[in-house]
Structures are given as structure tokens and as C-alpha cells.
Structure 1
Amino acid sequence: MRNEKKKFEANKVFISALINTAKGKWEEYIPTREEVDELAINLAEMMGLQELDVLSLAKEAYYEIDSKMGVGVSLVDPEAVHDDEWVYKRKDIKKWLYSDAYEKYLRDKGWSPTVVQSLSDVGTKILGHLQDPTSPGVWDRRGLVIGHVQSGKTANYLGLVTKAADAGYKFIIVIAGSQNNLRKQTQERFDEGFIGRTKNGESWQEVGVGLSFDEINFPVSVTNVYSDFDKKTADISGWSLGSRSQPVVMVIKKEHNILRNLKQWLEDLNTKESRTVRVPMLMIDDESDYASINTKKNSDETTTINKGIREILNLFDKSAYVAYTATPFANIFINPDAYGGDQDLQDDLFPRDFIYCLDAPTTYFGPDRVFLDDESSERILETIDDAKNYIHLGHKKDFDVLELPPSLYRAIRQFVLVKAIRKVRGQDEKHCSMLVNVSRFVDVQKSVRAHISVYLKKMKVAIKANYLMPDSVSQKNEYMDQLKQTFEADYWDADVSWKELKCTLYDAAESIRTFVVNSKSDEPLDYKKYERDGHGLTAIAVGGLSLSRGLTIEGLCISYMYRNTRMYDTLMQMGRWFGYRTGYDDLCKVHLPHDSIDWYSHIAISSEDLRDQVIQMRLDGLSPRDFGLYVMSHPDTLLVTASNKMRSAENITVRQSYSEKAIESDTLPDDRELNDFNQSLIIKYWKENFGVKDREVLPNEGGKGWYIGDVDTKIIIEFLNQFKCSPKTQEKRNFALKYLKSIVKKYPLSDVALVSEKYGLLEHDYTLSPRTRSATYVKEDKSWRVNQARVGGRHEHYGLSQEQKNAAMEKAVADAKEKGKEIKRPSDRYYRVERNKPLLIVYNLNLVDGENENLAVPAFVLSFPKVDYSHTVSVVANRVYLEKSIGIDLDSLIQDEAEGEDE
């Protein structure tokens, strides 16, 4: 262990030297990976290190060198009387004590200086959106910050808190998650980054930023890693907020009793002379889409958490409320005019003053990389297709797990191999984790853990007996043979040979510990404890709700999730695999069912669409209220609102807008009669050129075919009305047609593209050569579900002039630059804006699912241009439609999401 420790320290020294040398050598220029490798080899010669040993370290250093982050974009109320520049005009702030200490702390931890600076710039911008705490009068501000799952939201609001404390906010409330382990995790981060002290047993010790504080500068913390807010403890001190010169902070759980006790304490000790507390207060609401939203159907009622938050805000005459989330759908659905049935409360938590979209650093391992980039997705994603035979999605709390799916055992083998590879790469002292999320029930989680432990024990015995043996002997063992097969299939390109890896397998497997992570866990998943002991934790974490929201799984490499939710926010929050994977991103695997992969892809696109919309609305001079209306009329509203509203056999009436959206027939019938009818329908309209004189042959731009411009939009409506869809697509098509009919006066003409992979037969045969698309065959529905829910293949540029294409590219590049990104080509959204009229794309698809294949299945994409934000149509959906759209039993979904973990 001592030698390993020395090696780890030596590696840190080398990486630090390489980073500093590279930045000194190239300054503003970001070097290529090859240039960093060459520099590493030269530096290794100077330091007497082996070339082979330093190349993996060079990869880790490159992430730090290349890491940068944009400053994000914001949408503010243009009519509000507010000066965002007050931060720069405050001449009395001589030193930013807390924020400077926090930024130094991050740099000392190895954060890229460019990222730390960007984080500081973002914090200053968000602080500017708040009120100057020294300004007179009574005021309150409401804002929303949208981040990415596991992208550093805590680091961001820690930065905001430190700047707010420097500016004069005297009382800071941080509402962490609803679980004890989430609150503790946030408290630890605040102890290190702002408070400077932490509770260790019965004593306090200085940590993080506190190592450079004078005694008088420590903020006052009412909570600690062991204790949430307790009114009795707070009462013992007997002090009021106004009596403290240092800022007072508390990190509390999102629980109604805690909020009630806090309100009572504030009233008892801080409102003696007036009805309100007269110190400026900042409230951070982390994971604000969870529990904070008033979900009561009756507008005269209020949920307890929502009411508790608003009651505390109402006690202060100077307050700022900032909601943080990676899944903002629920926040935007707050009625901007709602009071929740209590006129004594301030208005609801709608972010009326500003919405700020954070950028993730370039090294962020996010949804686009996992689900939208074809090259990386193919390497990262693993499809779970065997779990239903072992763990039923709708299982009850007394379900008896007799055996685990083979795919889960394979994932465990991958984890053992990843740990061994990371050991070879010199990362043995870093955290390394696997996530298993297959049930919300505590007893089922315990049973799954028991099966995993038994499998690991058998594997360890096999490895111990064989890892030093020649292959001719070792590979006769079942477990060793499976490990080698998994290595050759998944990690053959990991810059390590099987012979080299084999020697490390025993230590890798022996270091693995298993945990059940839930509200009843007797052994916490405590990464900090291992850090204090000077080494990393290698863990397999089995859990449900605690693994689904807020909790950071350090060093996460392998994820296995088999759950039955398709709600946007819940599903995306389950994506604990997003984050930062410096030096091992090429090893990560994410195991998901087919439908989850499709929905994650859809959500990733929709989430990016929301960020793009913030940019566009800012350019159009619109406000957060307009953004709220836009999201509330988004076609996906039906899915977001379903679990809260469909608790009885009622219908949902929503206002829908398809502005800049594309509706795709992503679920297709396995019915020869229907498909033959659609083929005949295509031929009929094709022969007539959809009612116009000429058609244009499409060039080979990722596909061939024919383009027909300026078609009467009513002809498009007529065609789609006759097109026979599967039941799961029919209502979606009908909703889109209703919207198309509503805009026909403004857009009397549309375009049509008939896409063919090759001309093949003569044009007069009217045959579209099929595009091959991966799909999932759903036997019980006799239907095909196109993978990633995408029929189209980026064909919306068809028929546009080169000038229009160039304009779309310029706009896309400008928007990407705003978000600190680079792009190779525009998304279809930019082509929709340039086209400025509807587009119908018709395909023939060759659908493939393993050995199942269905040739020549007609499909369509209906793309809408940018329409006025306020233009919507009213649509009504019932339970039957929603269950078809969501694809699972709605009652089980509602129960799964409403109840959380079983007690």
C-alpha cells in the first residue's frame, strides 16, 4: 500500500507538471492530444520516467488542459426596474473574501483555472440578477438556474452563495434533497467551500477554505454533517440574525417539519420588533422541481413543502429565491399568477425575474455524448433485453428475486475489468463505482445486493486461484473465461493487454465493496471517509430513489438501470452516469432498456431545445413568463404532467404549440395491409406531384429522392388524414394536424421531400428505396418502435438554397459559441427557421431488430416552422392515449413516482 501511495503521489506531481508546462508553452492555444503526448514523453525523459507509464497520465492531463466552460445565457424580464450592474458599482466591497477563498480552494483541488474563472463570472452574473442586499425598501426576487445532471450545480450555487455573502446577504438557507444522505453530501460541500469548519465527532476541525480564514471570518453554521436544523439547538444560542456580523448559513432537508420548525424559530427570535426579519436573505432550492412545486389540482390548495418555503420567504422583507434544477419542466409549469389559496403568502415560486441556463464544461460527460453522438453512443450504451424474465417492471415489495439477469452479471464483470484497467493507468487511489437501480423497494434492493455479493465472492475465489496461471490453465475456469471474453468484446482497445490486466484482477476484485443506498441504509456510501483515510472507495451501489436524485456517485464507471418510469424529470435525474470522467471516460458503460434509450435521446433533444429557446427569446426581448408559456404549450407537456393529473379517469386539456417542432411516426405498424395502403397512398400523391407541376431530383446529400416545393398545405393535411398510423402514433398525428390546420392561413404553402437511399428502379416506378433503421419489435402490439424515436436522418435541409443553409449554419455556430460549444453542422431546428414553412418528409424504412426484419414500411416526419409563441391549439387527451404514448401502465407509473422508496 505504501508503494501504491508513493506511485499515486508521483503521478499527481507529473500531471501537475505537465499541465503547467503545457499552459506555459501554448498560453491561449489549446494543444492537440498528440502535442500533449509528445510533451509528456519529453517531460518523462527529464524526470526519469518510462514512456509507456506517462501516456495514460498525459490523457488525464489533457482533460484539464482542454477544459473550458461558457458563461451560459439568461432570460430576464426586460420591463423590470432592476440594475444588473449593481455588483460592479458597489465600491464598498474592497475584498471578495469568501468567493476568493472558494476559487482558490477549487484550483488547489485541481480544477482547471479557466473553468474556475468561468464559474466566477457566472456567479457574478447570477448575483447581478438578484437584488443589491444593501438596497432599501421591501423587495423579493425569484429566479431559476437550469444546469445539467451531475454537471456541477452545487459548485455553481456554492460560488453564488460566497459572492452573495461578500455582497451583504446575511442569512443563507440551502434546501438540499429530501434524503438525509443528500443533505449530508451538500453540507460537506458547504463545510469545505464556504463555512471552513466541519463537525468531527464532538469537535470541530478546520477544512477547505477555513484553512486560510482568520477566526473572525468564519460564517456561522446552524447545521452540520450530523444534524439538520433543530429548533432546540438553535434556541440554546439565543441569538437573532441581526446580532451576527458574519453571514449565517444552514443546509436543511426538504421536509415539511424542518421548514415548520425553521419558520417558528425565525418568528420567535427574529420578529420581536416587526412582523418581518429585516436582514437580507438568500434561499437556494436545490432539485427545485422535486417537492417544491405546488401540485394541487385545486388552485385554492397548497402542498406542504411549497407552502413552507413561501411562508419562510414571507417572513423577510428582503429576500431572493433561486431554484436550481437540471429538469426544469415542473418549475415552468407553475402558474405565474397563482397564490395557492393563501393571499397572505407572497406569490408562488415561478421564476418571474430571471431564468439562467448554465453551460457545462467541455469535459462534461453528458446526455449528448451518451445518447446523441452516434460514435460515442455505440460504445457507451448497452441494451438490457433480458431483465424482464428475472425482475418484473411492475413488481411488488415482496417480490422474490431468484436470480439476476445475465446482462447484470456481465455489467459486474465489466466493472471488475474497469477497476483493473484504472489500476494499470495509475488511478487505483481514486473512487471507482458501479450503480445498480432496478427497484424502489428496500427489501428487493437488499436481495439484489445479496445476489451480487455471492457472484463477486465466487469470482474472487476463481481469480485468486487462476490470475497468476498461464491462460492454458486459467481459462478453463468459467469465471476467468467470461472475464476474458468480456475484455475482448468491450475493452480490447483500452491500451492494456489481457496479460498485463490479468495480474491486477485479484486486487481489483478484492477491493470491491457492495452497498444498499436508501433512506434506511445502516451503512452510508461515504466517499469522504475513504478520502480522509487517504485512498479511494471501490463500490457497487444498489438503490432506488437515493440513486435517482441528487446523490453524486463518485468515479461512476458502470451503470445498470432497469426502471419503469418515462417521466421526463424522473428519468433524467436517474442519469447519475452523467458527470466528469477524467482519464476513464472511454471505459464507461450504461446499461438501459430499449425504450429508456429512446426516451433519453428524446429528452436530450428537448432539453437542448429549451436552452436554445432561452437564447432566441432573449434576442426577441421576451421574458421568463413568455418562456413559461412556451414550455407549457410544448407537445411533451402531456408526458410531463401525466403523473400529477391523471389520477382518475379524467381527460387532460392542454394548449399545444408545435412551433419549430418535428412530429415523427416513430411507432409503426407490423401490418402488411396497412403498409400496402400507405404505399399506394404515397404513389397516388407522388404521381400527381402533390398537386404542383414539377419536382426536383434531390442531390446525394446523405440520401437521394425527390423534392416538391410550394405544395398547397391543404394537400398535406389531406394526405396525412388518410395515412394509416399505429395506435400509438395516431393521436399524436391528429394533434399535429390540428395545429397545421390552425396555421394554414399564415402558411398556405408547404414543401415535400420523398427520401430514397438510392434511385435503383426507374423514377416512373414510384418506388422509394428503403432506409435501414434499427428498431424494437413489440410483439404484443404488433408494432415497431424506431430506436431513439427518430425516423428522420437530418434531411430538413432538403430543398433549401445554399444561402439558406449558410444562414442556418451561421446562426447555429453563433448559438453554440454562446454556450461554449463547437458544432459540425446545424440541428434541424435552424433549417426550420430558414425554410419558414411546413415540411413533410416521406420515407420507406427497412426496420431491423436482431433477426426480425420488416421491409418497406412507410413513415413520415412533419416539420413546423417558427410560429408566434402565443399561437396554440387546445387538445384533449385521456388515460388511454397517455398510456399508449407512455407505453406502460399509468397506475404503476404514478405509484412508482408518488411513493418513492418503500419503507
Structure 2
Amino acid sequence: MTVNKIENQRNFTSALISALSILPEPPTRDEVRRRARELACVFGYDDPLESVIEDALVAVDSRMGAGVSLVDVEADHDDQWIDKRGDIDWIYSDAYQAYLKKEQLHPTVVQSLSDVATKILGHLQDPKSDGKWDRRGLVIGHVQSGKTANYMGVIAKAADAGYKFIIVIAGIHNNLRKQTQGRIDEGFVGRSSDPEDRKKVGVGLLRDYPHPATLTNVHDDFSKRTANQSGWKINDLNKPTVLVIKKNVSTLKSLHDWLKEMNAQADGLITDVPMLMIDDEADNASINTNKPELDPTKTNAMLRKILGLFAKSCYVGYTATPFANIFINPDSYDDEAYEELFPRDFIVSLDAPNTYFGPEKVFIDDSSSARIVRPILDCEDYLPLSHRKDDEPIELPPSLYAAIDQFIVARAIRNLRGQINKHCSMMINVSRFVAVQQRVRNFVSIYEKKLREAVKANYAMPDSVSQKNDIMGALKSCLETEYSDCGFIWPDIKGALNDVFGNLQIFVVNSSSDEALDYKKYERDGSSLTAIAIGGLSLSRGLTIEGLTVSYMYRNTRMYDTLMQMGRWFGYRSGFEDLCRVHLSPDSINWYGHIAEASEELRQQIKAMRRDGMSPKQFGLYVKAHPERLLITAANKMRAGERVIVNQNFTGRIVESYILPVNKKINEENEQLIKKYWRNKFGCTGLEDTGKGWLARDVEISEIEAFLMAFRSHPDFTDRKNAAISYLSALSEKYTTGDVLILSVSANGEDAANYILGPQERSSAGHNGDTWRISKDRVASRGDEKLGLSELQKDEAVKIARKDGQDKNPSDYHFRSVRKKPLLMIHVLRPVGRDANARVPAFGLSFPPGDYQTEVEVVANQVWIERMQGASFDTPDEEDDYD
């Protein structure tokens, strides 16, 4: 395929999207197809149109909300300074918007990105302001959702407004820094920073573009030596200067020393040079490691020292996993490193576009999750979660070979859909050790060669011949079991298989590898890349894997930030979302669901606190008391056997007994307890039929507390139950009553006359002795919390959801907020796939949002922490060959 062919399709798609954007109403598929055919005649475009039509349909249907900001309302700052100045010429910003449109983004999405960037710029200081000032902020995005596009828009607008020195900190790995430098080159600098090829790129292709300066390039990070060789000072420049550097202590120290020696005045400050620091993957400064060059304390201190050199500075952290940032002590100060990086001035929670393929689709929505996610059940026998660097696998698990088959078939389908000129990738992440990754690569290479040879020999043969080959039989079986509704039948797929291998490459991506996963190189050569990427941490943070279709990850971590960032499969999957498969251990599937729920609740709290006019500091204090804090911070602070006492806050959350006993006697006693309270209507005059059980309104809080105290929990859940009861008791002056929902499935043996509930079926996240843990740690079904609400309350929930930028049905959080009182939910559960007669009572206690100042003490012991996080932590250590 020639370079012109790829460029022609890209340009034609952009032209079609622009033509469709002026229509008064969103077009139908038939309308897009008609317009594409008309435009193809004008352009002389004779390639297949289906892929172009699909991209255009996604573009015209893409929408993105404005997000929500928490700001320090007491600070002396005017967010409207941009409008009041009136002298800003948006040269860089306009060029960036034009570039995004050429990259096939619909004009409405480009405008949305611009509006959000303008809002964030308003939270920064006016660079023309006199005196000494600094601002600290945080932008919370979604994994693989376009955070880079957002902060590039902010950089462009900041440069237009007068920020002269811009530092972008791009994670801790060379490949991520190089990737970010390339994007900055295209979206802002306008010229390739490759010293061997300084051609114009991206925005630089526009006429008379004023190229900013850069002190780094795609090959080289910042160094004091190369900066000194340039011989200039930042005060000498009449245009913005940008640097893209790693979050590495030595690199940051080199930059600090150069700035201080070459640019600081007699008082040690750099004046009249407004500086903006963008800290991508901002939470990664807190990584748990003993490597000195990655030491979080030293890294954090160097960032603060660099900021402290400038009389005028703004720091904006970007992350999708904000827990660590919010835990920063907002009052921390150091005489040398100055003020901490806590986002005291603003926190912005970005909305993901409606076309985003994120945790909701992959882990929360049961129907889409069942299609996408596949449990890995056989890896432990081949490559256990806990292994050493010298453990050599003698073979790969059958499930990994099956995943490779899926990838090959999916690529064939994508080619048949007209996506032959688009990248397609598979990720394999099964070990943190470089040596083990190389051994995995060897096995994958051997299998890929067998696949290639089998396909080459059989793809053009009749089935009577080809199906005698085991590999061809496996590929056909893969189509039937995984992709039977893809729109193509086996003869179509078989005929397309050989083309899959034309540009298939296998890469090992780690700190020791010299194999660059460089998609741009293939684009420059006029071809797309079909890649199998094998790695560990280098695949887990920030690095974009283009066209990721099949993922296979078997790793042992439950740390929120680490696990969420490993989700490279999130992003945008135009035209092939139905082909995506994610292979994970059952434990990881459970934890992703748990984290996705917790992260979404955190975003909802930001919106609720915004409505209440609260500040980032108040939000920080709330999150410090968030129940999930123990999962993130406590393991690093606890000594063996130690118990930790922390203050916790459950506002806006639901506490559910997802760890349950399988002891028949205990469960029977709990059922008798439910009958007793049900028969007495929880002290109320009557119960309301909800269609899925019964509701008791305005039950005395003391009655709910008495029921929970008598309910026998699993020993491992007792601490959590007691904390929830204590919190309920602490709120009893505000809420004198709550509601009780008794849930039942009538078709499952319900007998209301005898107070017997029909059990709800729940899948298992694991059975261990006398313990049953529910999948995704969720007892209630989604939507249960709306039961018993009036139509007026449901309408109110819809309105709040829409205010939150949620067009679809309200979440349980929204239903929780309109009830405006605690809710006890009572269930009887049946484990799927186990004893068909098992009956396991469970409960959930839901608290309305808004009680941010109420906290209770919670005691957590080492057993609880290890159960929640895993006893063997998959985190960086001192071994030289750790990736």
C-alpha cells in the first residue's frame, strides 16, 4: 500500500466529516453512504467506502460534555480573565483545532475540546499578571480517553495567552516520553524534533505557522550539557519553549540546575517568564519503589523545586487514577521544596466522549461485559502469578494460544470491513520480568510461524482439505464461538487469513528492549501495523497501543492506580468494538468491576460537591476518609500484625456484605432474623409492594441498627459491618429514620405468606473454605435503589444525571441522592454454579451524599489488607531486570 493511499483515505474521511458537520440534523447511515458516494465522485476516490462511512458515522455521533470543576472559591482569582483581556490572538489554538479536524475529529468534538481547554486555562493565572504567583490544579480524565489531546489544547491556549516556558512530564519510561514528544511535535511544535529529519509535521503544515522552540527531541531527554551548548537563556526567546521530559530524579535535577545557573536572577528566581508544568500520569510520582532514580519523595521534591524557581508558575497534574494525588497533605511544606503539589486551586473532572470504550462497557454493564471479558483459568499451571525472574515456562497456557487465534481472526474480519490500512494490536502482559517476557516472546514466535505456515498452505484450499489441519480447525472454531455475528462466514474469513500475516510483527516492550513499537514509522512507509506486543510495566502506563483488539493480562496486583493503568484496552474502537476481547484472571475481573464502581462514585461526588459549592481542599479531606483509602495506602505503612485505625466516611456510598459465610447454620439463623423483622414490618404500619419485594418506609434508625447488630456476618466482614453501623449511628441526629427494602425474585420460590424470599442468583469471585465472595463485590442489582421511589423522585434523579452529563439512565448514586435518607437492602442469594438449594442472606446499607464532615474510626488488620490487596504485591522492586 502506498503512502498516498493512506493519506488519501484520511483526507477523504476528513472531507466527508466536514461535509456532514454542516447538516442541521445528525445523518442516518444511508445518508452518510449517499454523501460518501457523491464526494467520492468529486474526489476521484475509488477505494472501498465502508471503513470511511463507519468512521464518519462515529464522528458525527460523538459528543463530549464540559466536565465539572471544583475551585477554591476563597482564592483571589478571576476565572473570567480570558474574556476580560480581549487581546489574545489564538494562533496556536486555532492551528491545533484545524489539525484535530484533519485527524478526523468531528468539528463539534473539536469545539468541545477547545471549550474545556479554555475552562482549564481560566483556572490558571493570567500570565500577564504582575507580582509573584503560583497555581496548583488537577485534571481527572479516563484511561486512554484523550487526556493528551486535552492538555495539548491547554498548552496551545496557554502559549497564545503568554506562557513562555512549558514543561511536560511524561511518565517514567523512555517509550512514553518519546510517544509524548511525537504528539507535542505534531500538535504544537509543528516540526519533527528528530535531528535527522526536521521536516514540518501536523500544525506546522499550515502556512506561516510560528514554530515554538523545544529543548528535547524524540531521541533525547533534557540534559544540562545539551542545553548549555545551545547558549541561550529562556528570557532571550520571543516565542514559547516546550520540554518533554521523564519523571526521573536525575533528569529533573539537570533541568533544575540549568534553570538556576543559566536563568535565575540574583534572588534565585526566574522573573517575567510565566511557566506551565503539565504532569502527565501525575499519580505515578507516588509509585512504591526503592529505585533511587524513581524515588517518589525525591521526584516530588524536584518538581516542587523547579516550580519554586519561577516567580510565576502553574502546575496541572493529569491522571485517570487520582486517589494518590488527593491523599497529598494539602498543608505540607518544605523549606527547600516549598509547597506540596496538592491541587488546592482547582480539580477538573473531564467527561469521556459517548464513543469511549471504557470500564462501563467492559466491566460494569453485564451484557457487554459478557461479550468482551474472558476469564483466564489455566495460566497458574504454566506461568503462576507469583514467579521469579529465573522461572522458565516450559509452555504457554492454552488460553493464550486461543487468544492469539482470536487476534488473527479479528484482524481478518477488520480487513474485510475495509480497515486494512488501520493498525491492529494484541497485548500480552503476564510477567514483570524482562527475561520471562523474552521467553514468552519465543513461544509466541514459534506459534505465529505455525499459524503463518498453516494459513499459507490452506487458505485457498477447500474445507475438505484445510480442516484436516488442526490450526485451521482451531481458527474456524474461534470464528464460530467468538465472532459468529461479525457479518462474515468461514469462507470469507479463510480467504482473508493470509493477508493478516503480511505485516504482522512481534515486539517485546520493556526498558531493556530496542524494539520500538513505532506505529508512525509504518504509516510513513505507507502501511498499517499488525502487532503483538509483549511486556510488563512499560505496557501498563500511558503508552497507547494503537487498534488494540485482543488483550491478555495475568498479573497480581490490586492497587487501584496500577491495575487501572494496566487497562490499555480502554479507548476508542470505531468499527471493531464487537471484536474486542479482554482476558483476565477471575480475581482481576472482580477487581476491575470494583474499581470501576469506586472511580465512578468518586466522579459523582465531585459533581455533587460542585453543586454544594465546596473546595478542592474539602474534597481532599473527604477522599482521605474514603473507604478505599485502605486499599491504596495502608499496605505500605503497616508492619506485620499491626492494626491501623483510620477515619472513614461513607457518604454517597453503599456498604454491602459481599464476603459471605457458606455455613448453613449461620445462614439459617440470618433467614430467621429476616422473617422476624419482616413479620413485624420493621416496626412500621405496612409494607409497599415494589414488584421486586417490599419497602418499609421511615423505619426508626435504632430498628435498622438492631437488625444489623443481630445479623451474623462472615468474620472477615465484621469490621466493615461495624464501621457502617457506627457511621449510621453518627448520622442518627440528622436522619432519624431510613427505608428498608426487602428484595425477592418471585419466580425463585418466593413464599410471602411464610416470609420466604425468592433468592437472587449471583456469580462468584471465589470460594475459600467457609467463605463466598461475590463477583465485583456487588450484592444488589443495578437499579435496585430506585425501587419504591415516586415518579417525581425518579424524574429528579434523571435531571441530576443530565446535569452530570449522563444522558443514559441514572446510576444508583443518583437514585441514592434523591431518597435523601439511609436505605437498608436485604437479600437472599444463590451462588451460580454451586449448590442449587443454597440460600445465603446478605445486606446492603446505602447512605445519601452530602455528609462530608462525618467520620468514624475504622480498625483494619493485616489479614483484611492482604485479602483486599493480595499478600504478594506485584509492584516494582530492586531487581535489575524488573521492567
Which residue is 2:332 aligned to? 338
- Give the superposition deviation at 1:208: 1.6
- Indicate whether 1:159 and 2:159 are aligned: no
Q: Which moved more, 1:780-789 or 1:736-745?
A: 780-789
Q: 1:360 to 1:690 in 2, by over 3 A?
A: same
2:820 to 811, 836, 849: 836
The 1:900/1:822 distance shift into structure 2, 3 A limit, reads farther
Question: What displacement does 1:525 show?
Answer: 1.1
Matches of 1:423 and 1:711, distance apart in 2: 61
CA shift for structure 1 position 353:
0.4
Stretches of structure 2 that go unaligned for 5 or more consecutive residues are none
Q: How does 1:81-100 map to 2 (within 5 A)?
A: 81-93=76-88, 95-100=89-94
Aligned to 2:17: 19
Which AA in structure 2 matches 1:729?
A: F
Structure 1 unmatched ranges of 5 or more: none
CA deviation string 1:759-808 (max 9, x = no partner) = 75542211101112222442x33432222222101211223222222222
CA–CA separation in structure 1 for the residues paired with 2:875 and 2:370? 33
Query: Is 1:534 the equivalent of 2:529?
Result: no
Alpha-carbon displacement from aligned partner over 1:42-100 (angstroms, at most 9, x marks no partner): 8789999999x54454223211111122221111111111111111222332x212111
Does 2:734 correspond to 1:746?
A: yes
**Separation in 1 of the partners of 2:462 and 2:753?**
66
Counterpart residue number, 1:791 = 779
Partner of 1:457: 449
Aligned partners of 1:728 and 1:885 also within 8 Å:
no
Deviations 1:109-135 (A, max 9, x none): 222211111111111111111111111
Cα offsets for 1:505-524 (capped at 9, x unmatched): 12203432111111111211
Q: Secondary structure at the match of 2:284?
A: coil
**Farther off after superposition, 465-474 or 678-687:** 678-687
Residues 55-66 of structure 1 mapped to structure 2, 5 A cutoff = 55-66=50-61
Structure 2 CA distance for aligned equivalents of residues 662 and 462 of structure 1: 53
C-alpha distance in 1 between matches for 2:39 and 2:166: 47
Of 308-317 and 745-754, more deviation after overlay is shown by: 745-754
Contact kept in structure 1, 2:289 and 2:875, CA below 8 Å: no
Amino acid paired to 1:22:
L
Aligned pairs for 1:227-242 (under 5 A) are: 227-242=220-235
- Give the one of 159, 166, 185 matched to 1:172: 166
Describe the shift of the 1:104–1:188 C-alpha distance in structure 2 as closer, same or farther (beyond 3 A): same
Match of 2:313 in 1: 319
Shift of 1:427: 1.3
Instruction: Tell me whether 1:76 sits opposite 2:71 in the alignment.
Output: yes
- In 1, distance between residues paired with 2:508 and 2:362? 26
- Would you say how many aligned residue pairs link Structure 1 and Structure 2? 876
- The answer to whether structure 1 residue 31 and structure 2 residue 27 are counterparts is yes
2:259 equivalent among 266, 272, 277 = 266
Distance 1:423 1:807, change over 3 A: same
Q: Is the 8 A contact 2:21 2:107 kept in 1?
A: no
Alignment CA distance shift 1:57-1:379 (3 Å): farther
Distance 1:895 1:369, change over 3 A: closer
In 2, the alpha carbon distance for the partners of 1:625 and 1:897 equals 33
The CA distance in 2 between the partners of 1:616 and 1:900, in whole Å, is 46
- Asked whether the 8 Å contact 2:166–2:275 carries over to 1, the reply is yes
Distance 1:201 1:82, change over 3 A: closer
User: Are positions 1:813 and 2:792 aligned together?
Assistant: no
User: In terms of mean alpha carbon deviation, does 138-147 or 616-625 score higher?
Assistant: 616-625
Q: CA offset at residue 690 of structure 1?
A: 2.2
Q: Post-superposition shift, 1:883?
A: 1.4
Which residue of structure 2 aligns with residue 804 of structure 1? 793
Q: Render the CA deviation track for 1:116-172: whole Å, top value 9, x for unaligned.
A: 111111111111111111111010000001111111111111111111111111111
Q: TM-score, normalised by structure 1?
A: 0.93
Q: Deviations over 1:415-469 (max 9, x none)?
A: 0011111111121121110011111111111111111111111111111111111
Q: Report the CA distance shift for 1:159/1:788 in structure 2 as closer, same or farther (over 3 A).
A: same
The answer as to whether partners of 1:179 and 1:253 remain within 8 angstroms in 2 is: yes
- Could you say what the CA RMSD is over the residues aligned between the two structures, in angstroms? 2.4
Question: Is the 1:63–1:582 contact (alpha carbons within 8 Å) kept by the matching residues of 2?
Answer: yes
Whole-angstrom distance in 1 between the partners of 2:365 and 2:301: 42
Q: What's 1:846 paired with? A: 830
SS at match of 1:402: coil
SS state at 1:183 partner = helix
Give the alignment's TM-score, normalised by structure 2: 0.95
Question: For residues 865 and 358 of structure 2, what CA distance do their matches in structure 1 show?
Answer: 29
Supply the distance in 1 between the matched residues of 2:18 and 2:208 (Cα, whole angstroms): 30
Given residue 277 of structure 2, which amino acid in structure 1 is its aligned partner? M
Q: Which residue of 2 aligns with 1:576?
A: 568
Structure-1 residue corresponding to 2:117: 123
3-state secondary structure, aligned to 1:504: helix
Contact 1:144–1:323 under 8 Å retained in 2: yes
For 2:339, what is the secondary structure of its paired residue? coil
Provide the C-alpha distance between the structure 2 equivalents of 1:491 and 1:56, rounded to a whole number of angstroms. 19
* Distance change (3 Å), C-alpha of 1:302 and 1:489: closer
Call closer, same or farther: CA 1:178–1:487 in 2, change over 3 Å: same
Shift of 1:661: 0.9
Determine the structure 2 residue equivalent to 1:205: 199
Q: Which amino acid aligns with 2:857?
A: S
1:18-417 equivalences under 5 Å are: 18-24=16-22, 26-27=23-24, 29-33=25-29, 35-36=31-32, 54-93=49-88, 95-212=89-206, 214=208, 217-278=210-271, 279-291=273-285, 303-339=297-333, 342-417=334-409
Q: Which moved more, 1:433-442 or 1:769-778?
A: 769-778
Quote the offset at 1:33 in angstroms: 4.1
Whether the 8 Å CA contact 1:456–1:509 is kept in 2: the answer is no
1-structure distance, mates of 2:43, 2:268: 68
- Give the whole-Å Cα distance in 1 for the aligned partners of 2:151 and 2:449: 42
Describe the superposition over 1:539-578 as per-residue Cα deviations: whole angstroms up to 9, x where unpaired.
1001110111111101111111111111111111011011
Q: Is contact 2:14-2:101 (8 Å) kept?
A: no
Deviation at 1:205, TM superposition (A): 2.1
1:712 is matched with which residue: 672, 685, 700?
700
**Which secondary structure does the structure 2 equivalent of 1:322 belong to?**
strand
> In structure 2, how many angstroms separate the alpha carbons of the residues matched to 1:8 and 1:196?
21
